[in-house]
Structures are given as C-alpha cells and as structure tokens.
Amino acid sequence: MGFLATPARRHGLLFLCLWHSTWASSVEECVDGSVELLQRHLRVLEEDETDRRLQAALPMFWLHIPKCGTTFVNTLINMHHFCPSAGENFDLSLLAPHECFNPVFAMCQSFCNPNFLECYEHPSAMHSPVGNATEYARRKGKLVGFFRQPEQRVLSAYYDGHGWLEDFSNPDSSKFLFRCNLSYTGCLDSGKFWCDRRGSPGSWTKIDDRRTAPRTMTGPVFLDPETGEARCHDSLGAMCPKDVRFKGYPLQDLLEAFKGTMAAQIASPHDIIPFVHQPPRDLALGHQAVQRLREGFAFVGLTEEWDLSICLFHAMFGGPCHSSEFHNARPGQHAKDADGLYDTSILQGYQDEIDGLVYAEDLAPLGAQLARASGDGPLLVTWSTGGAVFARQALNLALSVRRHVPQLEARLVLVALDEQAQQELQPFGFHVVLHQSTLEVDDLIWKFRWQVLLVGLQQNLSLAVCDSDVVFFQDPFPLLGFDADLEIATEHLDQVHQYLWKPWVRPEDDLSTGFIYARPKGGAEQLLEQFLQENHHAVLPGRLLRDPFDQRVFNKFVRRKASECAPCIRGFYLDHELEASTSLGGQTRGQGGQGALRIRVLDPVKVFANGVNFFWRRAHLQHGLARPAAAHANGVGPKSYYMEDRQVWYVDDLPDRFGPSPRFLRYHHPVPALPPAAPAPLAADLAPLAAALEVAKALGRRLVLPSTLDCRNCPAYEAYGLNETVGLNCTPDYFAYMFRLYHVHPDVVPAGVAAQESFQALWPHERVEDEEVLVRSGSDMVLFSGDILALRDRLALGTGIPALQRSSCSFHEWPHRFMACRDEAYARHFGGACRPASRQSACGVEALVCCVSHHGRADRMQYYTGLPWDLPCHCGLPCDGPPSSTVAAPASGVRCCGERCGWAGEANVVPPAATNVEKDLPFASSSLMASFAAGDLEPSEAGELASSVCSSPYGRSGWSTVDP
C-alpha cells in the first residue's frame, strides 16, 4: 500500500483529536513541505501544552489496523524516551530489509519504556483490539492509530497476497495456494518467526508444530512436495521455488471477511485475526466504535493523508520528524491512480457500511466548525461544489442574506465541497468551510444534507440546511414553530393540508428537502441514521440503482415508517395534525402517541415559498406580503432564467455574463388591451416573439424577451390567481416551456434583466425604426420600434440585406408521461386519467412549446384545480407540413412533420400507456421493487410492469443498468 501526500484531498477524520484542543504556534521541522501545509491549516501547540498533552496520552497504545500503515512504528519508536534502546533514527525497513517485521514487535518489550509505549503481549498480536470495557477504560485517552477508507483498505488486502482467510487453528482449512511472495521473503531471526502460510497439497507446506522438525534447523521449516523432507534456509527467498505464486482469494470472500473489522478492532473485545473467526459485526458495533473513537483516542491519522498526519502527531506531542516516517516501508505493487488510490470499480458498488460509520467521522471536524460558528441563534447551512453555476448559486444565497437579512449573516455557513468552490466563495467575506470527502461526488451530494443534519444533532446544534438555489428576504427562524423534530418545506401550493400524505399525491411533493430544520435533543437523529443506513449504497446487488432524487426517497421512507410504526410519526401543518401514513390517506387525526416524531410542514407561501408559488404565482401578494421569508427556485427552470428575470440574482456578473460586445436587440411587443376588451388570440400574441427570435438570430444579436404578453391566455390565469398577483402583462414563461426555448435560443435575455438600472447603465439603447438602420447599427443595444413581423418577412426574402433562415419545425407532443393527472395512483383514486384535447399535439416552431410548461403549471394544474392546461402544443403557430402518419422508430423518440423528421425529447411511447407508472419505478425505492422484494409480485408481473417504463428517459437511466 502507498501513503499519500495530497493536500487537495484533506479529510476531516484527521482532526478528530482537535475537537477539544486549543492550538498555538510552533512545530519542529518536517520534510517535503509539510511544515508549510501544516501551518496553513493548524495553530500548533505551545511547548507546555505539548508536554501536557503528551503526559495525558502515556503510555500510548497503538491500535494497528491492518493495511493502514505499519510505518507508523518508526514514528513511535523515534519519539523521545519511548524506546531509548532502539537507537536514533530507527527505520523499520532498514532493520527488516525483507519486511518481515514480527521481530520488531517482539523486541518492543526489551527496548521500549512501558511508561511511554504499551507493547503488544506477543508479536502475533500486533493487530490487537482495544479490548473489553475494562481494557478500554485503562487505555481511554491513550489510544493512537491510523485509519483508511474501507474500500481502499480491502483492495489493498486483496492485492497484497496476505493469508487473510487462512484458519491457522485448523490445519485442514487452507483453501488457497499462498506464494513465497515479494513482501515476505525473509525476516530477522528467522528461526523464531515464520513469514509464510500453509499451502495447498503439492505445494511447499509449513510445519506448524516445530517440534516435528529436526532440531538442527534454524529457519522456518517447510516440507518439500517432491521428497516429503523438511527443508529450511536462512533466506526464504533462496529456498522457495519460483513457480509458487499466490492465486488469490475470491473477492467476495475477502469483502465479507473484512467487513466491519475496523469497528471490531475498536469496539469488540475479540481479536480480528484470524478473519475467519470473526464474531458478528453490525451497525450497532459501528456506532459503539464511533463513540470510542470520539472519546478514547488521543490521536487519529489517515493513511490517505500520511504526511499531514505525521506532522499533526508531532505538533500535538512534540519530537522531531525523521525521514523514515515519510516513506512507505511496505509498498503495494498493484497499480493506483494519480491520487494513489485503487480503482474501486471491481467492487461493483460494494461499500462497507459498518466501517463506513467509523470513516464517516470525516464529518466530525465539520461539526466542530459548525459548533464554533453557532452563536445566539440557529445556524443556516448551505453547500456547493465547484464550477461557476453551483458556486454562484450559493454566493447568490449569501448575498441575499447580506442585502435583506444582515443580522443572519453571522450564522450563515457556506460549505465548499471542493477547493474550487472554496476559491469561488471565499473572496466575498462569508464564513466558508471546506469539507472534502472520499465519496464519489454524486454520492456525496446525495447524502450531504442528511449528514449535516445528523452531525448537527450529534453536536446538539440548532441548525437548518437549505439548497443553494434559495434567496432570503427575512430571517426564517422566528417563523418556525420550534415544536417539532423536523420542520421542512413542501412542494404543494396552498391548502396544503388537503394534499399532504394523500395516496394519490406524488410522494416527492409532500416534503421538500430545500429547507430542513432539525431540533436538537429531539427524535430526528435515529430517523436520519436509519435513512442514511438504508441508502448507504448507490448501487445495490444486481446493480439496482438508488433513486438519484433523494427528496423522493426520503418522502417514501417517511411514509413507510409512519405506516410501520403508527403513531410514531406525527405530521403538522399550521393548526392541522395529519396522519403521515398513506394507508390512512393523510387524514386529520386526534392526539398522537407520546414520544412520536413530529414533522412540521412550513407554509409554502409565507415562510419558505417553493418556486411555483414565488416565481410564477407570486402567491405571497394574495396575502398582502411584499415577499416571503425565503424562496426556493425549485419547480421552475431554467433556474437562472427565473432568478434573473424576477430580479433576485444579486451576483454582480453582468459584464462576465454577456461579454465585451453583447449586441442586444429589443423590440416593441404589443401591450394587452385593457378589459373589457378581449385578449388577442394566443397565436397573434406569440407571433411577434417568434418573428423576433428569427430576426435576432439573423442579425447576430441577443433578443431581450418581452414582458407584455397577454396573461389572460394562460390557462392558470384565474385557477392559480394570476389575475390578482401578476395582472395583464406576462413574460413568455407563462405559456411556453422555457427549457425548450433556451435549448434552441441559448442567448436570449430575460426581460427583468434588461429592466435593471445596472443593465441600462452598461448598455443604453439606441431607438431605431428604420430597418436598414437597424441592420447596419453597431450599437450594443438596439430598440426596434417598427413592425417586427414585417421586418422578419423582408429579411426572409434576402433582398440586399442579410438573409433570414426561418425557424425549424418540430413535432410537439402532449406530455403523457409528465402529467400528474395521469399518474396511476391519481387515476385509481379519481376513476380515470386526464387526456389531451383534440389535436393538441401538433407540428410547430421548434423553440415554442405551449403544452409542456414546467412542474406546478401544466403538469400539476389539473391535479390541484381540476382544470386542464389546454394550450395547443404549437402555441397556435403551426408549421406548413402536417404531422406525418408514418412515425419512424417511435420508441426512440423520432417524430416527423411533413418530410422532416427529428428527435423529440418529450416524445411519448406509441401508443402511450393508459396511466403513468411511478417515476422511480426503475430504482430500489419504488413500490414495484418493494412489492417484488416482499413476494407480492411474481417475476413475470414485475417484468411486465417494468417494460411499460423502459422506453422513457427515466426508465432508460435505471433499468438499462439492472441485471436480469
């Protein structure tokens, strides 16, 4: 195995020992630049504090976990007064050139001071456990050790060629040929200590009982497979035949043997070797190990952060660093990546959840930093990975706090999940905490909110975790009830108590993970632990995938728990107490059981507004509020469009966003006629926009979208109360699917951005009415006040001015699979699924689709109001060619308009199913999988249901990876 000196992979478990520490400012010299690294991250102890800490940790007991770093013996033996008889600058690799190191441990008792270092009772016990309760009490506070990412540790063992699975107490149990390998070709005083293991028949066989060997032999004794005679040699490498090689153990056997052994060595009284005689290891043992790790260890190092760990040890306990401490005395031979890590794909998603609890203490320093940040009120925590999009979302959240709720900034913590995010966020003066993990990025992001909540509860902190695509207008905490274990947002719009935990409601709509407050000293800790344990693996046996949408998984988990243990989960919304079990249909309930977990759902209009309520409905205005406490850009998209257009984007990035010569085009869009005049037809209202998109593209300009489309053409105008909150003037998103518009025209500019004073100051407009002047204008911003439709038609003729290419035509299909009123649960409850209007699917302008609006608008409107979203898919702007009656490869999403065929991202299966199966059907948490696992479905029934979703995008993403 190799040791890493990779500062970019800083890991938190390393700093467990700092929890109760106060750091000062000096360290003796270290090598390879580690001093500078250490000084950047630590304040080193003063000499008197170093001595005090050292005395408190004596005699040290080294918990030597296999495959975590034998070289640490060099550090311990070279400490002042620890092993004075060993001489100066002791180096294990020099004394044991063949790396058989048992004699070194045997010599410990003869040359080490027992008042400073507790030696192992016998060299074969060099992986001794911490021990039982009595031994732990004696060693508590004096334990030191290194730890390693569990999957990396087991791969190191797999490639090592060690006899991990041999049962030395049973001479007939050896199953695998063991090599005279490169790591064990000899040792000191080889007449006393053996380095190889029993082989299979016909191989070199070690005589376990030396009394059967000739007394004149001085080395390890082997039987020659050809002669049956005992043979020995002072150098095993000269004796062993070269063709004897390690064949290896089945990986699955080794995974099972190693599972939970770090936790066992910490918390079990039993020795972990031989691995074949392990007592049961479970998550309870893992939690006990975590507790001992927190309370009983004077020092914790990481194999992955070897150099930094060694310097930290000396910073804490003194003593000079030696070069022998920084090289690998026992390097592995198998290939690793640039970071010194093994490729874990061979494990096929396996994770050791027991030892994972121990190694998951990388959250401990984060908890400590959160504890230091907590002041007079609850903390607000968000996080981000690197990259402009995600980091700037988190920055925008922080800037909204600074602008609107400055008193909250002192309790705001931005967690950067990588150094790039830290570099993006730190210059703005917010409290930024760097947290890096060895988890894969997707797995880390999936788990992180739950881990932060859990570590906050373990630290007895009052905190809320929110997504980064949130803006704050006031302090949300005074609006919380503080009467529940969890207080959480919701996707529902209003009258929430009518929808919460109803069996026909999409589970992911009930509880929105965009904002979660966890009350300390409540009952949420156990719930979160169980949730993380159930979803520890991203890939389950059979390569079945965990649902990537953790919000849906959590909602299903809560529903199931409420059904299993009713009345142990109680739901609250305003003054309503609700049944969280779908078996009781979200009924209003009486007094719940004492000690039940309490979940309060927050007001989605006044407290934590979801994206549809704030960005689209502006529902707060119906309640006389200027703004809610916070707004989440979920259920609207693209997020950047809505945040910029609604003027809640606070990052000053206009020049960066549009560049030095942006070339904008604005046009005069007709203003809606005042009532009682009827609105212009949808086609007449959208035709100027379609023309302007074509003109802007022909002129190489960015079109500023209009804000005076007639809102009365929106099906939700009265159903969602837009007539009270938005009025007559609307932006295109009240009709058209903005993801599609941005996909075809990515350079368009939201109307709200162009209305800002800062934008107008940077790019004042030139008003132009003449078409030729417009074409020749070099101004960055041109306002065309003429007839945009007439200009488009003339440009299309190509007479003396740039030729215009008409927009492409595509087939726009009513989105069967996205409509919530077609869900199987909805149809079962209400007696049928909704259907599209006659000829609603049609060919139209590629960029404008009006039947596929997003989330709470089109796909859930009938779900909430009973009224359909009945706009024609082509927005009233049909193409010349009719839809083709011959559809090529329908399941692949190919659709035709006349002679032109192309891929349609929203294409349905042909013919569409009668209802929509649940969206997570391919994933482990689906009802189908639960029924199949419980034996309620035969394989043929499960396969039939699965085939109905396989051709959909979410079906292809899941089922295609599942083994049959």
Q: Distance (Å, rounded) from C-alpha 351 to C-alpha 537?
A: 6
254 near 157, Cβ under 8 Å?
yes
Q: Distance (Å, rounded) from C-alpha 412 to C-alpha 379?
A: 6
pLDDT of residue 225: 44
User: Which residue ranges of the chain lie beneath pLDDT 50?
Assistant: 1-46, 96-100, 168-247, 590-592, 885-891, 951-964
Q: What is this structure's pTM?
A: 0.70
Q: What angle do CA 149, 4, 54 make, to 5 degrees?
A: 80
pLDDT of residue 364: 62
Concatenated DSSP letters of 801-814: S---PPPPEEEE--
Q: Distance (Å, rounded) from C-alpha 637 to C-alpha 384?
A: 19
Closest CA to 380 of 485, 473, 512, 516: 516
813 φ, ψ (degrees, to nearest 5): -115, 135
Q: For 606-623, write each residue's pLDDT tens digit.
A: 999 999 999 999 999 999
pLDDT of residue 458: 80
Q: Distance (Å, rounded) from C-alpha 514 to C-alpha 472?
A: 13
pLDDT of residue 16: 36
Concatenated DSSP letters of 873-908: TTTT-B-SSPBPSS-SSGGGTEEEETTEEEE-TTPP
CA torsion sign, 208 to 209 to 214 to 218? positive
pLDDT of residue 323: 83
pLDDT of residue 281: 87
**Beta-carbon count within 10 A of 963 CB:** 7
Concatenated DSSP letters of 53-89: HHHHTPSBEEE--TTS-TTHHHHHHHSTTT-GGG-TT
Q: Distance (Å, rounded) from C-alpha 439 to C-alpha 149?
A: 9
| Residues 164, 167, 169, 173, Cα dihedral to 10° | -150
The order of strands in the sheet holding 781-784 is 702-703, 664-667, 781-784, 766-768
Q: For 267-296, write each residue's pLDDT tens digit.
A: 987 776 656 566 778 888 888 898 888 789
pLDDT of residue 746: 96
Q: Distance (Å, rounded) from C-alpha 106 to C-alpha 126?
A: 9
pLDDT of residue 903: 59
Coil/strand/helix, residue 456: helix
pLDDT of residue 812: 87
